[in-house]
Amino acid sequence: MMDKTTLTFGEIALPADPFAAFGIWLRDAEASEPNDPNAMSLATVDSDGLPDVRMVLLKGFDRRGFVFYTNFESRKGEEIRATRKAALNFHWKSLHRQIRIRGDVEIVSDEEADAYYASRARESRIGAWASLQSRPLENRETLERRVEDLGSQYGEGPIPRPPVWSGFRVVPREIEFWHDGAFRLHDRYRLTRTGADDWTASRLYP
Ligand SMILES: Cc1cc2nc3c(=O)[nH]c(=O)nc-3n(C[C@H](O)[C@H](O)[C@H](O)COP(=O)(O)O)c2cc1C
């Protein structure tokens, strides 16, 4: 019988609460990964059910879910707005750990998106306007000219958030914690949502 309150990975123990456990491993990664400990792969599917995957940066998480920001007219933006589903994967190589998340997707509030947008460097705020993300670009100069023109247009004044740039929140249905073990005998736990904020943990064969 599995201990319902603790996930054990050899010497390592995590609380069986998925958000508390996620926070501990993210902090460990922040302390040890050389860059982008918050980088995660984001999987989506198109209208044919064909999957796609790319990296994005986690910009916030709490009991509601996992937030990243992007252009809503990008390929991922279109796919998520159509399906309202996504999966995430973190792999921290030097820690030999993986976290997988699958769930439904919400759009963050305008207030939340505005607050995050305002925290970005001016160049990144201009970049969000300049990049017609995922659409064909004739050459590099065209992009650079857009950045320049938008820079002069806004001058030193405030730069509003582009209407097509905002955040998605992946509201997890399940979260899996994986840690490698000797001879491929890894430890895996899947935490599955069973209620508004109730979760059940099961150990899986590696
Ligand atoms: C480490 C890393 C982090 C990234 N973070 C983001 C991000 O937070 N948001 C974003 O829109 N694109 C991010 N990108 C770029 C995406 O991987 C991708 O190229 C872009 O969003 C277009 O994807 P799409 O055409 O599937 O929509 C990141 C790329 C890397 C390698």
Residues 35-40, mean pLDDT to the nearest whole number = 97
The Å distance, Cα 165 to ligand 1 centre, comes to 13
Return mean pLDDT, the chain.
96
Residue 174, domain member (yes or no): yes
The answer to whether residue 51 sits within a structural domain is yes
- 29 in a structural domain: yes
Dump pLDDT digits (tens) for 48-85: 999 999 999 999 999 999 999 999 999 999 999 999 99
Q: How far is the CA of 71 from the centre of ligand 1 (A)?
A: 10
Strands 6-9 and 12-15: what pairing? antiparallel
Q: Give me the CATH number covering residue 64.
A: 2.30.110.10
How much is the average pLDDT of 98-102?
98
Residue 4 — pLDDT band, cuts 50, 70, 90? confident
The Cα 109–Cα 124 span in angstroms is 20
Whether residue 102 lies inside any domain: the answer is yes
Q: Within a domain: residue 116?
A: no
Does 139 reside within a domain? no
What's the mean pLDDT in 129-143? Answer: 97
Instruction: Specify the pLDDT at position 2.
Output: 62
Catalytic: 184? yes
Our answer on whether the CB atom of 54 is closer than 6 Å to any ligand 1 atom is yes
Q: Of 22, 10, 53, give the one whose Cα is nearest residue 177.
A: 22
What pLDDT is recorded for position 182? 83
Annotated catalytic residue within 75, 184, 188, 203: 184
pLDDT digits (tens, 9 = 90+) for 20-31: 999 999 999 999
In percent, the amount of the chain with pLDDT more than 90 equals 94
User: What percent of the chain stands above pLDDT 70?
Assistant: 99
206 alpha carbon to ligand 1 midpoint, in Å? Answer: 30
Is this structure's pTM higher than 0.95? yes
| Average pLDDT rounded to a whole number, residues 90-103 | 97
Ligand 1: residue of 35, 38, 46, 54 to mutate (most ligand atoms within 8 A of CB) is: 54
The closest-lying atom of ligand 1 relative to the alpha carbon of residue 79 is: 27
Asked whether 75 lines ligand 1 (CB < 6 A), one says yes
Domain, as residue range, for 85? 7-108+170-204
The number of folded domains in the chain is 1
**What is the DSSP secondary structure assignment for residue 95, as one 8-state letter?**
G
In a domain, 151, yes or no: no
Please, which pLDDT band fits residue 132 given cuts at 50, 70 and 90? very high
